[in-house]
Every structure is written in C-alpha cells, then in structure tokens.
Chains A and B, each alone.
Chain A
Amino acid sequence: MPEIEYKDKKIEVDEDGFIQDPDLWNNDLAEFLARMEGIENMTEDHWKVVNFLRNYYLEFGIAPMIRKLCKETGFTLKYIYELFPSGPAKGACKIAGLPKPTGCV
C-alpha cells in the first residue's frame, strides 16, 4: 500500500490516493489532499461541501447522492463540478476522507 508524507507522518492511501483510515482525517489533512487534487485554496464553499460529505458519511456509512449534496449546500451541480475539477467522487469525497466508491469511478 503506498503512503503519503504529511507533517512528518506517513499516511496510508490506496493507489488512487484515497486514505485508508478515515479516523486520521482532519482539516489540515483535507487541505493537503486538496492540493494533490489541484485545489490550492480551500474556500468556504469547498469546506461546506467537504464538511457535509464528511458528516453524512459518519452518520450513514455511505457517501450522499449528489442530489442531497446540492440540496443541503444550496449549490448547483455546475458549481460543484467547478469547485472540484476531479468530480464529486474522486475530488470532493477523496478530500473529505471517504473511501473509494464501488462501480465505474
């Protein structure tokens, strides 16, 4: 399993860059993961999406539908795709520390 170096710590990620232990997640790590996805600055709107994903996942054990994400954040689909150029799964969910989804992603 590959590792990423972060603040003198080594964190296990899979080959697609998803962290393996969700408990290691924190805001600093999210910013670090965001930079790996080409997002230099996490804006308030980025955080709104990431925090919703994170909390939903902790409560239900699964990533929310994009429909729920739009409804809860009040953002349009287009805006979410703009915020996270790698997409909701490989961008936003990865930064929020969620595991890689099953299926064609």
Chain B
Amino acid sequence: MSSRLSVAAPSGVSGAEGAAGTGLDLARARELFEKKITRQLVTYFHACAHCGLCNDTCHYYLATGDPRMVPAYKADRFRRVYKRYHDWLGRLVPRWVGAEELSEAVILELADNVFGACTMCRRCTVNCPMGVDMGLLARAARGMLDALGLTPRGLKATVDVHLQTRNNMGISGEDFVDTIEWLEEQLQDEVGDSRARIPLNKKGARMLYTLNPREPKYFPLTILAAAKIMYAAGEDWTLSTNYWDVTNYALFSGNDEAARTIAGWLRDEAVNLGVQEVVMAECGHGYRAFRWEGPNWLKASYPFRVRGFVELMAEYVRDGRIRLDPARNDKPITYHDPCNQARSGGIVQEPRYILHRAAADFREMNPHGVQNFCCGGGGGMLSMTEFAERRIRAGKVKADQIRATGAEVVATSCHNCLDQLMELNKHYKLGVKICNLCEVVAEALVL
C-alpha cells in the first residue's frame, strides 16, 4: 500500500486483480451505467462548475492535500464517462473536454474512488453552491460497480451475511435469545427490581426497538443501558427475535434490491407486531436508511412512526419521564455527530438537549452539527479493510477536532462512528474515553 492516497492504483478493490485485462463485461457495464443515469444525476453532472468550494469540505482532502481528493475531481471520475456518451463535444472531441470511454481502467479507477475515497458523508453536498449531491453520485456509481462484482470484499460479505441470516453478523436466533435473557438478569440486578424486563416479541407493544448486531455479539452494555433507560421511563417496548437488525449496508453497496429486502423485513416485523413506532438504536446509517430511504425503496410509506433512540431519549427528558443528574458525568465531554443522523437525518438539537442535562461540562467540537466532519468510518469504510490505512489517515481531521475540545469523553450515537473513533483514539493517542450517548444517559439516571 503506498503511503500516499492514490486514485490511480485501484489495487484495493476486490476483483480488481481478476478484472484487469480479463473478463470485465464492458457492454454490460455500459448498460448498467445508462440505467444509473437518472435525471437528478444529469442535473449534477451539468451543475458542477468546478468552483473549488468543496475542496476543504472533504476530510480526505484536508488530511492529505492531494488534489485528487477534491470532491469535484472525484465526481468527475463519473462525469467524464457521462460526457463521452451524452455531451455533443464529448462525443466529437472527447479528449478536448476530458471525456472518457467506459474502459476497464476507468471502471477500476472509479471503484477505487467511490468505495475507497468517499464516505458518502455529504459534507461537500451541503456546502456546494450548486447543490451537487456527491453522496448520491457515489451511491449510484457503487450500485453499478456492485452489479459488476466490484464491491470490496468486506462490504459485500456484510450485505451477503445479512441477506442470508437476517442480521449482518450471522447471529443465530438461539444465541440472540440467550444473550437477551442474560442481559435481562443483569438489568434486574442493576435496577434492583426482579420485574424489570427486556420484552421479546410482545404483540401490540407501543414500540419496537432494534439493535446493531455488534451489540449482542460483542458490546452488550449498550443494550443494557437502553433497557435501563426504557425501564426508568416506563416504556411499553419490545425486541423481536424474528427481525431485530438496525443496519442496512445495502445503503453503502448501492444495491437497491438488497436495500429493499432488508428494509422490508423490518417494516413487515413492525406490522406483524402491530407497534405504533419503530425506534432505531444508535446507528447513523441504519436510521437514515430505514427512516429516510426505506419508503423510497419500498415505494410505500410506513403505517407506523420511525425515530432514532436519541430523539426518544430527548423526549423522555423533556417530558420528565426520566430524571438525570449531570454530576454523575463530571468529566469534560464532547459529541460527535454521525453524518447520517445530523447531515442526512436532521437530528442535531436532540443530542445537545440531552447532554446539557446529562453531563456537567459539555463542549462542542468546531464545527459541529450539520457542518460536523465525518469520523472517516462512514459509507461502510470500516468494513472495507482494503482502505484501512486511508481511513485512519483521513480520520486525522476528526482526531484534531476532538483534541482541540480538551474533552476526556467523546459520546456519539452510532456504533460505526464509535468503532472508528476508538481506532483514532488509539492511533492518534487521544487518551479519551469513547462511548454511546445512551451510556452517558444511563449513567446519569436517577431511579
């Protein structure tokens, strides 16, 4: 792996070795490309004026200074193909306008670019005067590449395992129940009430709660924290053994069919249980995928409400359903906004409302909220081990932001961000504690 970020060497993309000089079906690629070119994308292709305002919105560019990391340059890896076939100058004198045929080299460079050098965080998008949605461009390109078998191994495996086992870590029903029952006992010990429950498959419960598979598999304390909060609020909730996964990595692979299937499973289970609301565990992309993208994939609105757990916790605090003692979290604490919750999901005020009441010394990062920087782990980047080195390098922007706050604790409301922040903590020797927002709230709970 070269030390410099390189878009010219697409060695990171699985299948790239096999594809180079061999059987990539270019006719099929062209067909897929045309299918992906929606009216929206065409607008973006025409709208980008190469003004350069996106330069320093991108954490990849800021961390490397490599001009090939500028979002407009990255978007052009896609646009130059469009020009070759749809722009009259591009058809007549392609070289003059930088148009490129859809060749193997062009496809592999595009793959390296949209999978390995963009977290689909959309910070460039909200700062683009023309409104070019780079996240959407990257996803469209990823969808085409996915159909060509060029999705990086770890990302593909995560979607495949999800489709095969109904959760992205392949956890069996038996193991899931065993873990939840164990946590229920711990909950009872902790709150000193043998009637405290983590309900399973409760028909007609008000609310269905979902989990990120890494919670039952490796980090169950967040389930315990959430259950404790729900216990304190007297919530009528349930988990489901039939379908419980909050994630949907097809948002990242660009595979709409898979995305629809996964969103459909959760929708169907919510309908089956007859709940009024589905609450997404602290998971940035899962929240965005189900709440904001799901109805488009399923071509129908839901007969229930969808919220993130952060929103529900804020409501509990506002309505006095839980009481918090900020003195219990007395260390300086900052908050990392998951891009898919803040920028792409509209959850900005709620975590602040909570933290001002759950902690004694809350400090903002600069910038934050809608303008917050990606941790570097978005877009499924954490699963694509090929790009681990780049991911850590690009995360320097976030590491610097954290350091500047002087905080000793970093809270976030996304398991994926959490894992990347833990790696940044180790690599950049930040010496902070990283946790989920619900853990901060659970710590402050006055029962």
- In the complex, A104→B247 CA distance in Å? 9
Check A100/B175 contact, CB under 8 A, given A15-B386, A16-B388: no
Q: In the complex, are the beta carbons of A104 and B382 less than 8 A apart?
A: yes
The interface residues of chain B lying within 8 Å CB-to-CB of A2 are 1
The interface residues of chain B lying within 8 Å CB-to-CB of A66 are 179, 217-220
Q: In the complex, are the beta carbons of B161 and A102 less than 8 A apart?
A: yes
Q: In the complex, are the beta carbons of A88 and B218 less than 8 A apart?
A: yes
- In the complex, A88→B219 CA distance in Å? 9
Q: Which of A14, A62, A68, A102 sits near B158, CB closer than 8 Å?
A: A102
A74 is an interface residue with CB less than 8 A from chain B: no
> What per-residue 1/0 map shows which CB atoms of A53-70 lie under 8 Å from chain B?
000000000110111100
> What per-residue 1/0 map shows which CB atoms of A89-105 lie under 8 Å from chain B?
11000000000111111
The interface residues of chain B lying within 8 Å CB-to-CB of A89 are 214, 217-218
Q: In the complex, are the beta carbons of A87 and B175 less than 8 A apart?
A: no
- Interface on chain B toward A: helix, strand, loop, or mixed SS? helix
Q: In the complex, are the beta carbons of A87 and B422 less than 8 A apart?
A: yes
The interface residues of chain B lying within 8 Å CB-to-CB of A86 are 422, 426
B170 is an interface residue with CB less than 8 A from chain A: yes
The interface residues of chain B lying within 8 Å CB-to-CB of A77 are 220-221
- In the complex, A1→B380 CA distance in Å? 20
B383 is an interface residue with CB less than 8 A from chain A: yes
Closest B residue, CB atoms, query A100: B385
> What per-residue 1/0 map shows which CB atoms of B180-198 lie under 8 Å from chain A?
0010000000000000000
- Interface on chain A toward B: helix, strand, loop, or mixed SS? loop
The interface residues of chain A lying within 8 Å CB-to-CB of B389 are 15
**Nearest CB of chain A from residue B427's CB, rounded to whole Å:** 11
Q: In the complex, are the beta carbons of B385 and A14 less than 8 A apart?
A: yes
Q: In the complex, are the beta carbons of A105 and B385 less than 8 A apart?
A: no
**Nearest CB of chain A from residue B438's CB, rounded to whole Å:** 16
Q: In the complex, are the beta carbons of B182 and A67 less than 8 A apart?
A: yes
Q: In the complex, are the beta carbons of A105 and B426 less than 8 A apart?
A: no
The interface residues of chain A lying within 8 Å CB-to-CB of B219 are 66, 87
**Nearest CB of chain B from residue A63's CB, rounded to whole Å:** 8
Q: In the complex, are the beta carbons of B386 and A105 less than 8 A apart?
A: no
- In the complex, A38→B427 CA distance in Å? 12
Q: In the complex, are the beta carbons of B213 and A103 less than 8 A apart?
A: yes
B412 is an interface residue with CB less than 8 A from chain A: no
- In the complex, A93→B170 CA distance in Å? 16
**Nearest CB of chain A from residue B382's CB, rounded to whole Å:** 6
- In the complex, A102→B9 CA distance in Å? 25
Closest A residue, CB atoms, query B415: A104
- In the complex, A64→B219 CA distance in Å? 13
Check A67/B169 contact, CB under 8 A, given A15-B386, A102-B157, A102-B383: no
Q: In the complex, are the beta carbons of B214 and A105 less than 8 A apart?
A: yes
Closest B residue, CB atoms, query A63: B217
The interface residues of chain A lying within 8 Å CB-to-CB of B168 are 102-104
Q: In the complex, are the beta carbons of A15 and B387 less than 8 A apart?
A: yes
The interface residues of chain A lying within 8 Å CB-to-CB of B158 are 102-103
Which of A63, A86, A101: most chain B CB closer than 10 A?
A: A101
The interface residues of chain A lying within 8 Å CB-to-CB of B283 are 104
- In the complex, A31→B344 CA distance in Å? 43
B178 is an interface residue with CB less than 8 A from chain A: yes
- In the complex, A67→B216 CA distance in Å? 8
Question: Which B213-259 residues sit within 8 Å CB-CB of chain A?
Answer: 213-214, 216-221, 247
> What per-residue 1/0 map shows which CB atoms of A67-80 lie under 8 Å from chain B?
11000000001000
Q: In the complex, are the beta carbons of A67 and B220 less than 8 A apart?
A: yes
- In the complex, A14→B12 CA distance in Å? 11
- In the complex, A86→B218 CA distance in Å? 12
Q: In the complex, are the beta carbons of B212 and A104 less than 8 A apart?
A: yes
Q: In the complex, are the beta carbons of B1 and A15 less than 8 A apart?
A: yes
> What per-residue 1/0 map shows which CB atoms of A16-57 lie under 8 Å from chain B?
101000000000000000000010000000000000000000
Closest B residue, CB atoms, query A66: B218
- In the complex, A90→B385 CA distance in Å? 12
Q: In the complex, are the beta carbons of A15 and B385 less than 8 A apart?
A: yes
B101 is an interface residue with CB less than 8 A from chain A: no
Interfacial residues, chain A to chain B (CB-CB below 8 A): 2, 14-16, 18, 38, 62-63, 65-68, 77, 86-90, 100-105
| Selected A-B contacts with CB under 8 Å, 25 pairs | A15-B1, A15-B386, A15-B388, A38-B426, A63-B217, A65-B217, A66-B179, A66-B218, A66-B219, A67-B179, A77-B221, A87-B422, A88-B218, A89-B217, A89-B218, A101-B169, A101-B217, A102-B169, A103-B169, A103-B383, A104-B283, A104-B382, A104-B419, A105-B214, A105-B419
Instruction: Knowing that A14-B388, A90-B423, A104-B419 touch, tell me 15 more A-B residue pairs with CB under 8 angstroms.
Output: A16-B385, A38-B426, A63-B217, A65-B175, A66-B217, A66-B219, A67-B220, A87-B218, A101-B169, A102-B383, A103-B161, A103-B214, A104-B168, A104-B214, A104-B383
